[in-house]
A and B are shown apart, each in its own frame.
Chain A
Amino acid sequence: MIDTTATGDVQGRLIAVEGVDGSGKSTQMDLLHKWLRGLGCRVFFSEWNSSPLVAEATKKGKRRLLLTPTTFCLIHATDFADRYERQILPMLKAGYIVLCDRYVYTSFARDRARGCDPEWLREIYGFARPPEITFWFHVPVETALTRLTKSRKEPNYFEAGMDLGLSLDVREGFRIFQGRITENYAEMVDEFSLVQVDATLPIPHQQQIVRRVVQDRLDLNAFPSRIEHVVHDQYGIAPPVFEEDLMDAEGEW
């Protein structure tokens, strides 16, 4: 905590993706991740709400529906702080490109939709450095809902904002709640220079846009991987197991 380095210089670069559930952001992040590895870059991937330390409390809170908007926000902030200080920041200092599937803007959009004060949220997360690039995958709520229901049957309790009692119907709840979140994202486009991507475009088109922005803004030669993997083939998928994969999978860093 001593040095929060929200603004201090680091060698690494931070890229985040944001968007409602079902926007396709994780797919795009995954493709970007593989592409960067294929280029031989040092990359590290971190996902929202994934710290093993906090996971148990979050799970319990969600299962027993103990969470209020405030504790929902704070428990995610705890998770974020843990990951930020133990992986994101050290990785940035070590000169990695750090990819974050969701960043503080998720809280700004979502917790605000739950009734938390936007100013308060910005203060709580004041220690987090702004990413060099943040993509916002914008999709109409109805499309997101269709995508979600294609993969599993119903949106989950919290995605649908059921804790707020917006509607008795999960789908209707999803529409209202994710609609609010979308409005909040839209409001942040200027404030945080979010790069808005039309998430209704075909997946490869979106990925093309993403890669172009990354290429334009970062010098991709500046992050050479120091770990020698088995030779990457031209599609960047040759080595069966990456060290980072192991770290992600086991949650040990």
Chain B
Amino acid sequence: MVSHRTYKHVIPGIDMEELGGLLIVIEGPDSSGRSTQIWLLSRWLEQLGFAVEQMGLKRSKLVANELEKAKEGNVLSPRTMALFYATDFYDQLENRIVPALRAGSVVLADRYVYTLMARDMIRGAHADWLKPLYSMAVVPDAVYLLDTSAENILDRTLSSRGKLDYWESGMDLGLARDWYESFTRYQENLRLQFEQIMTDYPLERIHGDRPILEIHEDLKSRIERILPTLTELHRSPPI
């Protein structure tokens, strides 16, 4: 039986009863291999005949441009930033995820509320405030956290982009003036925040320092266990 609920508060105007499909989230820092795994999973699921919808952070029509602009100027306070991201998140939840689930698709989310919370917590937000902020999020059917060592992340970041990202290095936090040092501390911090988040939310840890295909097989076998049959997924009776 496929059914969904939100963490606590209901989303105004949305009937949860109508939602079918499957919501699968891949979490993990940048360069942890998320996008590759999502790409592989979506190919695999489509081969099996499932409609797949991909969704990531900061892709909504509503505020994505403004967020980018605000980030460049580095003028938003952490709380404003948190609310901006939350707006963006709910925009995507209501306009993309919910319709996809309603249609019975498998939604592969490239990160979800957990990354948003972790980032905000590093910047001083309290979990007491963040939990209600994201309490209307649809509870995913599974969340896989790609646990990749800081060295590997650093290696991949440098080899693919040739430089470190300002935000993923936590340069706004003033942890260290040295980028490398700041990056290392920030990633360590992120890891600690995720530890805390995992006491409240069940995230499955996936060992990320393995060959790509090995991780893929691991994810596949986990998803196979929760994958409903096609008839279950498309709950509306065939015409």
Contact = CB atoms under 8 A, between A and B. Distances in A.
A1 B63 CA distance: 21
A78 B84 contact: yes
B204 interface: no
A124 B125 CA distance: 12
Q: Is the interface of B mostly helix, strand, loop or mixed?
A: helix
Contact of B79 (A66, A67, A81): A81
Contacts, number: 95
A69 B61 CA distance: 16
Contact of A78 (B9, B75, B83): B83
B66 interface: yes
Interface residues of A, number: 33
Interface stretch (A29-37, A52-60, A93-101): A52-60
B10 A68 contact: no
A131 B208 CA distance: 50
Interface string B94-134: 11000000000000000000000000100111000100110
B134 to A, nearest CB: 10
Nearest to A3: B124
Contacts of B213: none
B158 interface: no
Interface in A65-94: 66-71, 74-75, 77-78, 81-82, 85-86
Contacts of A66: 61-62, 91, 95
A116 interface: yes
Contact of B80 (A70, A78, A120): A78
A54 B66 contact: yes
B77 A1 contact: yes
Interface in A103-124: 114-117, 119-120, 123-124
A239 interface: no
B129 A120 contact: no
B80 A57 contact: no
A74 B12 contact: no
B83 A85 contact: no
Given A66-B62, A124-B133, A71 B9 contact: no
A70 B76 contact: no
B152 to A, nearest CB: 31
Contacts of A117: 9-10, 12
A115 B13 contact: yes
Contact of A71 (B79, B87, B120, B133): B87
B233 to A, nearest CB: 25
B51 interface: no
B76 A68 contact: no
A68 B9 contact: no
A77 B129 contact: no
Contacts of A85: 77, 79-80
Interface in B54-84: 61-63, 65-66, 70, 75-80, 82-84
Given A1-B124, A53-B66, A60-B62, A74 B87 contact: yes
B135 A120 contact: yes
A126 interface: yes
Contacts of B61: 66
Contacts of A123: 129, 132-133
A4 B87 CA distance: 21
Contacts of A70: 11-12, 90, 94, 136
Given A53-B70, A57-B63, A69 B79 contact: no
Given A60-B62, A74-B90, 19 more contacts: A1-B82, A1-B120, A1-B123, A53-B70, A54-B66, A54-B84, A57-B65, A68-B90, A69-B12, A70-B136, A71-B62, A71-B91, A74-B86, A75-B87, A119-B9, A123-B129, A124-B133, A127-B79, A127-B129
16 contacts: A1-B77, A1-B79, A53-B66, A53-B70, A54-B84, A57-B65, A66-B61, A68-B94, A70-B11, A70-B90, A71-B62, A74-B90, A85-B77, A85-B80, A86-B77, A120-B132
Interface of A: 1-2, 4, 53-54, 56-57, 60-61, 66-71, 74-75, 77-78, 81-82, 85-86, 114-117, 119-120, 123-124, 126-127
Closest 3 CB pairs of A and B: A115-B12, A123-B132, A78-B83
